[in-house]
Amino acid sequence: MSSVTVVEGVFKADGKRFGIVASRWNSFFADRLVEGAVDALVRHGASDSDIVVAKCPGSFELPQVAKRLAMTKKLDAIICLGVLIRGSTPHFDYIAAEATKGVGALGLDLGIPVSFGVITCDSLDQAVERSGSKAGNKGVEAAMAAIEMVSLYDALDNS
Ligand code: DLZ
């Protein structure tokens, strides 16, 4: 039998505090991601009073607001949610790149997990599919990743 040490997180969110940063751009879809994330957190034991939702203008601003939230030192993880829908100009690519790079850098810098629930779509149909229909809800997935990561960090601290 192998004697390797495996450290992993579990999906228990009780007693943990979560920040959700959500873009108001494409809010018809982004609000579904927020609902999915909150539902996933609460179903896994988080209290409503331990969840704060900050709405920002667009996905470009997600890293800025996530950093500001983290500076409160009151959160165990931050979940970034946004919806980018490709238009007829390259703007989409610039914003997607900045949001991805910014959120990724925060996860490395802040010391708490930062999960990425930004959907990048070529069409409204794809946005529908990813915000609560046939391709699931990316807000739920980002919340589940945050729950697992908080638990994993605890497990690593105690290993
Ligand atoms: C400007 C813009 C455009 C064209 N498209 C989107 C989008 O599809 N999704 C999104 O979250 N935000 C979009 N934005 C807004 C930018 O993210 C940002 O809020 C503005 O450029 C102001 O800094």
Distance linking the first and last C-alpha atoms of the chain: 20
pTM here is 0.96
Distance 20 CA to ligand 1 centre (A): 18
95 lines ligand 1 (CB under 6 A): yes
Catalytic residue among 11, 91, 93, 156: 91
Question: What is the count of structural domains for the chain?
Answer: 1
Encode pLDDT of 58-97 as tens digits: 999 999 999 999 999 999 999 999 999 997 787 899 999 9
Query: What range does the domain containing 47 cover?
Result: 18-157
Residue 83: CB atoms within 10 Å: 27
CATH code, domain carrying 47: 3.40.50.960
**For residue 82, is it within any domain?**
yes
The rounded distance, in Å, linking the Cα atoms of 92 and 159 is 42
Encode pLDDT of 3-27 as tens digits: 899 999 999 999 999 999 999 999 9
**For residue 54, is it within any domain?**
yes
Evaluate whether 13 touches 150 at the Cβ level (below 8 Å). yes
**For residue 112, is it within any domain?**
yes
**For residue 11, is it within any domain?**
no
Atom of ligand 1 nearest to the CA of 82: 11
Q: Which residues pair with 109 in a beta bridge?
A: none
Phi-psi region of 9 (alpha: psi -120 to 50; beta: other; left: phi over 0): beta
